């Protein structure tokens, strides 16, 4: 990874600074100095090695986003500085961010980075690639999947519906909630209307049902085969119009 450095000691120096950045128990001034030192490496060395150098620097900085320290203001200042350095590295840092997302429990910070470095379509590509490896079965800790689905709920892309609709059947209620929200918010939501309708009769979660009804009401869609079940047991605050379209009471 560090073969692009002119001297082996440079590679060892970046590695050493990275260890300090990743150490929650290190002294705050030492971490601050390490982050600043890593920033300086972005402009060092031959120009033709800038991509590899940037990737290495970003890789050394990313562990800082995996923990919190006290006081909170110091924690935020360190993360803000590390974030600025990552953004300064530009698109050359994306491979390191991508690798970090594969193992990080939280996707909040890497997603912020990608949103600054890539186009919306490219960010969606990264999110869908991560989601592709996930399934709808029980997980002890589904937080990564939930974060992905929630992030996709806020985006508009024709690839989202086909990729996310399978999570209508997820065993996790929150996953179903965000999956429904993401798919039915897309411009091509009508493509998945039947799947959403089929979900309603057997869905036990009131908030998932309400999310589907909200989307149907917004688009003026009638409930079809799900009408009878909703009329019989409507979620609180909902009714069904004479035309079979869900409506707020």
Beta-bridge partners for 248 = 238
Length of the chain: 249
**Section 16-21 average pLDDT:** 96
Share of the chain above pLDDT 70, in %: 94
pLDDT-derived band at 72 (thresholds 50, 70, 90) equals: very high
- Model confidence at 5: pLDDT above 50: no
Per-residue pLDDT, 41: 87
Q: pLDDT digits over 155-202, tens only?
A: 999 999 999 999 999 999 999 999 999 999 999 999 999 999 999 999
Asked if 173 and 148 count as a contact pair (C-beta separation under 8 A), the reply is: no
Task: List CB contacts of 207: < 8 A, sequence separation 6 or more.
Answer: 173, 177
Residue 81 domain-assigned (yes or no)? yes
pLDDT band per the 50, 70, 90 thresholds, residue 64 = very high
Distance of CA 51 to the CA centre of its chain: 25
| Global pTM value | 0.89
Whether 144 is in a domain gets the answer no
Q: For 87-102, what is the mean pLDDT?
A: 95
> If 0-12 CB within 10 Å is exposed, 13-18 middle and 19+ buried, where does residue 72 land?
exposed
Q: Are 46 and 6 in contact (CB under 8 A)?
A: yes
Residue 134 lies in a domain: no
**Dist. CA 200–CA 197, nearest whole Å:** 6
CA distance 31 to 81: 11
Residue 161 lies in a domain: no
| Helices of type H across 133-220 | 143-153, 160-164, 173-183, 193-199, 206-219
pLDDT-based confidence at residue 49 (cuts at 50, 70, 90): low
The verdict on residue 5 lying in a domain is: yes
pLDDT of 4 reads 44
pLDDT on residue 48: 52
Distance CA 109, CA 111 (A): 5
pLDDT the model gives residue 51: 85
**42 in a domain, yes or no?**
yes
What is residue 45's predicted lDDT score, i.e. its pLDDT?
Answer: 62
How does pLDDT run across 81-91, given as a tens digit for each residue? 999 999 999 99
Under the banding of pLDDT at 50, 70 and 90, the label for residue 3 is very low
Mean pLDDT of 39-58: 80
**Boundaries of domain holding 71:** 1-118
Burial of 64 (0-12, 13-18, 19+ CB in 10 A): buried
The pLDDT of 9-33, averaged and rounded, is 91
Q: What is the pLDDT of residue 221?
A: 97
For 79-97, give one letter per residue: b (16+ CB within 10 A) or e: bebbbebbeebeebbbebb
Structural domain count, the chain: 1
Nearest to 129 by CA among 150, 152, 108, 106: 152
Q: What percent of the chain has pLDDT over 90?
A: 86
């Amino acid at each position: 990874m560090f073969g692009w450095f002119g001297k082996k000691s440079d590679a060892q120096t970046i590695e050493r600074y990275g260890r300090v950045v990743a150490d929650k128990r290190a002294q705050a001034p030492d971490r601050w100095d390490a982050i600043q030192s890593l920033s300086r490496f972005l402009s060092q060395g031959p120009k033709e090695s800038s991509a590899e150098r940037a990737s290495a620097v970003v890789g050394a900085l990313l562990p800082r986003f995996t923990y919190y320290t006290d006081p909170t203001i110091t924690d935020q200042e360190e993360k803000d500085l590390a974030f600025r350095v990552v953004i300064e590295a530009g698109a050359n840092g994306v491979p390191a961010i991508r690798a970090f997302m594969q193992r990080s429990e939280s996707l909040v910070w890497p997603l912020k980075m990608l949103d600054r470095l890539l186009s919306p379509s490219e960010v969606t590509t990264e999110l869908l690639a991560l989601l592709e490896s996930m399934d709808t079965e029980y997980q002890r800790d589904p937080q990564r999947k939930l974060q992905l689905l929630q992030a996709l709920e806020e985006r508009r892309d024709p690839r989202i519906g086909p990729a996310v609709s399978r999570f209508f059947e997820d065993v996790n209620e929150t996953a179903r909630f965000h999956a429904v929200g993401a798919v039915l918010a897309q411009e091509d939501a009508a493509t998945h209307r039947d799947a959403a309708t089929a979900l309603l009769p057997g869905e036990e979660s009131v908030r998932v049902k309400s999310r589907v009804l909200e989307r149907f009401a917004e688009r003026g869609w009638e409930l079809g085969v799900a009408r009878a079940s909703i009329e019989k047991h409507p979620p609180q605050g909902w009714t069904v119009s004479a035309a079979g379209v869900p409506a707020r009471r």
